[in-house]
Structure 1
Amino acid sequence: MTAPAVPSFFFEEWSRRGPGDRRSLRRAALLAGALGVAEPGTPVLTVVGSKGKGTAATYASAWLVAAGCRVVTVTSPGLRGDVERVRVDGAAVSAGELAGLGRRLRQASRSLPREHDGYLSPSGLFTLAGLLHARDVGADAVVLEAGMGGVSDEAGLFPPSVLAITEVFGEHLGVLGDTPAEIAADKAGIAATTTSAVVSLPQTPAVAATIAATVAAAGAGHVETIGIARTADLPGAAGIDEPAGWGGADPSGNASPVGLTGPDTLPADLLPHGLNRPNAALGCAAARRLLDAMGRPAPDGARLAGVLASVRLPGRTSWHTIPGATVLIDSAIGRAGAAAAVREAHRRWDRIDHVLVCLPDHKDIPGVLAELRGLPVTFVRMPDRESLRFTRTQATIDAADLTPGRLAALGGRILVLGTVYFTGRVLDLVDAPTERLFDA
């Protein structure tokens, strides 16, 4: 099934950009003012980080919906199509709704300065569309997944009530900063005096120190570092697969484990396996902090368990069946992600027949290959993604040439790894259900 077309306005200026052109946060801020959403009037929970932001945003949204909130969620990019960038209570807006939002953005943009001030980026325009839609539907809360950065991203135009920070590492070095600590400063710089809570996954010492200093300088609430709920926090959780190094300590070294559940009636297995688990835990903890800031009660235990148990994460260690094959799809971009995906494959399979890998040159290709040693691997190129370079030539195929039949011909058990733009295409090939991420 082909994803519905998206109004061209979201990509119009971006498609006309020239060498060296940059997005204009100033014009985006002016457009937010023209739309009347410069001050959303609705509590905002923003997720920043290098990886796992979509998972954290999904679980934060599910937690808030379980508590009775109407929630608009903005993520980037979409899974199978751009309508999925804006969701209400976990469900993607319709093509007609997004088209209407695009027309309103276009009309408002006519009052802006000329484009030589910089272009309006697609991710920024979807963020504004989400905030506009939140006002239309009377949302109680907005969950924003920042794009690449923090203060360098349009999400930074809207000071969050709660800021959630996934692991920060050397992704986008030379773009957001020359070190992981500099990248962390950009991402944590979204915090403001109106930010009541900053919740972070454990970070390296340099990154943790930078986040703490940046948040303190902004006058926001202190940084709370969380680990996955332990036995004492989550009834029946003994043996949970907690990543090594999770100590539940804040950047100053003070222990501060966070329990993710309230009522003892909740089942233990509410969070996904593998590397998705800490990001899901982060989203849940951030949603709890937002409910506290809003003065709203925690969700009923049975209601919370039902909603969290229904969460689906297509493209994030997700399983799919096509005629002749079962496909495991994961948006892994480095060695740790590839290792986790291989472990998950072996939880169900006695062997992996083939691996498709789509990673541009700047990703950790040697690390991924080290985890796939001994397995048959085919590299996939995406030549239509002009911002990504794919120079590897051995055993390659273009993404546009993949079909369900060609997938199945690789064997009965296929592992798919790579950039979200690629995994989104494979989700489309296997006709994955992506319209709704959880049951409200």
Structure 2
Amino acid sequence: MTSHAAIVPGADSPELHALESSTAFREWTARAPGQRADRQRAVHLATALGLDLESPAAALGVVGSKGKGTTVAYASALLAESGATVGTVFSPGLITNRDRLRVDGAVLPLEEYAALLERVDTALRALPEPVDGYLAPSGFFLIAGLAHFAAVGCDLLVLEAGIGGRRDDLSHVALTGLAMAEVFLEHTDLLGDTIGQIADDKVGAARAGTRFVSHLAQSAEAEQVISRHCDEIGAERMRVDSAMRAAYAGMVGEGLGGVNAAHGLIAGRAMLAALGRAAITDEQVRVAASRVRYPGRLSRHDLGSSVVFVDSAVSREGFANALRHVERETGGAPALTLVSVPSTKDLAGFRALADELTTPVVFVRLDREHLHYPTRDEWPGDWATAAELPALLRSAPTVLAIGTASFSADVLRHCGVDTDRVF
């Protein structure tokens, strides 16, 4: 194993990547073909580290198909503005895996982060060898985060799910509240074949003892599932509609990002109320919202003579919203659009909008085997590899880079964006 004392600082440090590979990603890398995650591994690991998942610091969980990260960032900023020390787990990180774990918006110091990985991996290696499945990397980082937050005395936690809710390791944590972003068909091989089944899995992260579930407006089928689950566990259901979000319109951006940002602020306020803490003032909310710096969500970056807009959208609606945003900012369509979405997302919606554009659209395939990219027949237009991405970003005066969080992370890295703090 790489010693953390030998790690060279930097987002692309080979030494840090090697340490993460040998710790957080070790069981995932060694998984057998077709093998799935064993949810009990996270429970056993927590026990080995002396953590009580039934009695953590008060925690807000965040689930959904898209918009979770924005919700997490704004909820965390609001709770920190209230005077609490806030531990946050993002899944995934903005640019690196180190980005996943934060205290009051800041990443852990490099040596502290490396020592945490080694400590958690030592506990994991002491467990019996996995038989029924592996510990998912998202589960490793979740448990690592909880261990660190307990050690430094965080008052409140905001925890983003990896995939799903009931099937995710987040469901092992006793949550005070659950915030649910938009739900659409995704990961049907894991979560279910219908919107109702997927919504049921995601809201399943809330269980008896969870005091509230806040959720954005959903399909009728999904809302019925959410309502039924809240009734079953005795949780208050908060439907965050446009009327409720109106009070936050001047504090957050437009479009889907603004919707999720407002939801984060609302869910943060709901957490304070559920815990009987002093209510935060509107001015404090404005300050909290103004402090958030969460790139990759309709963010704008200068790269030489190019202006690059980056958005982590994987639906036709999100793509259309990003195109409207670029037009508002520049007065026209992007000179070049770079798309990177797997077949499991709204590939058909992306193709339909791409066909309507009169400016070039290029599909970028990253070196990520788990993302299930389309074949050349599924995207017959222009095609590029990850190695071509740096040159493409500098090849036009205005570039829209849109797709998965992994794609946004690569683009932000090439743009030299600093993600050490999100607020």
* Among 195, 200, 206, the residue aligned to 1:185: 200
TM-score normalised to structure 2 length: 0.91
- CA drift at 1:230: 6.0
- Confirm whether residue 413 of structure 1 aligns to residue 392 of structure 2: no
- 1:331-346 aligned at under 5 Å gives the runs 331-346=312-327
Paired residues, number: 402
* Among 24, 48, 51, the residue aligned to 2:63: 48
* Among 388, 401, 404, the residue aligned to 1:401: 388
* Among 1, 4, 10, the residue aligned to 2:24: 10
Distance 1:220 1:400 in 2: 51
Distance 1:348 1:305 in 2: 23
* Among 323, 345, 364, the residue aligned to 2:304: 323
- CA drift at 1:206: 0.8
- Matched AA of 1:26: Q
Counterpart of 1:174 in structure 2 is 189
- Matched AA of 1:326: V
- Matched AA of 2:69: G
Q: Could you tell me whether the CA contact under 8 Å between 2:212 and 2:235 is conserved in 1?
A: yes
Higher helix share: 2
Q: Could you tell me whether the CA contact under 8 Å between 2:74 and 2:288 is conserved in 1?
A: no
Q: Deviations over 1:394-433 (max 9, x none)?
A: 4211113322x44212x10111111111110000000012
Change (3 A) 1:184 1:130: same
Structure 1 residue runs of 5 or longer lacking an equivalent are 235-259, 261-267
Secondary structure at 1:338 match in 2: helix
Distance 1:371 1:310 in 2: 34
Change (3 A) 1:387 1:305: closer
- CA drift at 1:292: 1.3
Distance 1:194 1:106 in 2: 31
- Matched AA of 1:366: A
Counterpart of 2:7 in structure 1 is none
Distance 1:343 1:327 in 2: 15
Structure 2 residue runs of 5 or longer lacking an equivalent are 1-9
- 1:103-118 aligned at under 5 Å gives the runs 103-118=118-133
- Matched AA of 2:63: V
Q: Percent identity among equivalent residues?
A: 39
Change (3 A) 1:428 1:170: same
Distance 1:350 1:157 in 2: 48
- Confirm whether residue 282 of structure 1 aligns to residue 297 of structure 2: no
Q: Deviations over 1:138-158 (max 9, x none)?
A: 101110000111110111110
- Confirm whether residue 385 of structure 1 aligns to residue 369 of structure 2: yes
Distance 1:432 1:312 in 2: 11
* Among 400, 412, 416, the residue aligned to 1:427: 412
Secondary structure at 2:151 match in 1: helix
Of residues 293-302 and 96-105 in structure 1, the stretch that sits farther from structure 2 once superposed is: 293-302
Secondary structure at 2:350 match in 1: helix
* Among 145, 153, 156, the residue aligned to 2:171: 156
Of residues 164-173 and 61-70 in structure 1, the stretch that sits farther from structure 2 once superposed is: 164-173
- CA drift at 1:117: 2.4
Of residues 174-183 and 376-385 in structure 1, the stretch that sits farther from structure 2 once superposed is: 376-385
Distance 1:228 1:130 in 2: 33
Q: Could you tell me whether the CA contact under 8 Å between 2:66 and 2:313 is conserved in 1?
A: no
Distance 1:175 1:385 in 2: 17
Distance 1:220 1:153 in 2: 21
Distance 1:110 1:323 in 2: 46
Distance 1:226 1:105 in 2: 37
Counterpart of 2:421 in structure 1 is 436
- Confirm whether residue 64 of structure 1 aligns to residue 64 of structure 2: no
Q: Could you tell me whether the CA contact under 8 Å between 2:56 and 2:173 is conserved in 1?
A: no
Distance 1:294 1:434 in 2: 30
Q: Deviations over 1:331-368 (max 9, x none)?
A: 11111000000000011112321111111223222312
- Confirm whether residue 308 of structure 1 aligns to residue 308 of structure 2: no
- 1:25-40 aligned at under 5 Å gives the runs 25-39=39-53, 40=55
Distance 1:204 1:230 in 2: 18
Q: Deviations over 1:349-391 (max 9, x none)?
A: 1232111111122322231233232221111111343442331
- CA drift at 1:113: 2.4
Q: Deviations over 1:87-138 (max 9, x none)?
A: 1111111222221111111221233222122111100000001101111111
- Confirm whether residue 76 of structure 1 aligns to residue 103 of structure 2: no
Change (3 A) 1:89 1:228: farther
* Among 294, 298, 301, the residue aligned to 2:279: 298
- Confirm whether residue 206 of structure 1 aligns to residue 228 of structure 2: no
Distance 1:406 1:200 in 2: 38
Question: RMSD of aligned C-alpha atoms?
Answer: 1.7
- CA drift at 1:307: 2.3
- Matched AA of 2:52: A
- CA drift at 1:229: 4.9
Counterpart of 2:5 in structure 1 is none
Change (3 A) 1:387 1:303: closer
* Among 209, 221, 227, the residue aligned to 1:194: 209
- Confirm whether residue 360 of structure 1 aligns to residue 342 of structure 2: yes
Q: Could you tell me whether the CA contact under 8 Å between 1:227 and 1:278 is conserved in 2?
A: no
Q: Could you tell me whether the CA contact under 8 Å between 2:56 and 2:174 is conserved in 1?
A: no
Q: Could you tell me whether the CA contact under 8 Å between 1:212 and 1:222 is conserved in 2?
A: no
Secondary structure at 1:421 match in 2: helix
Distance 1:364 1:110 in 2: 39
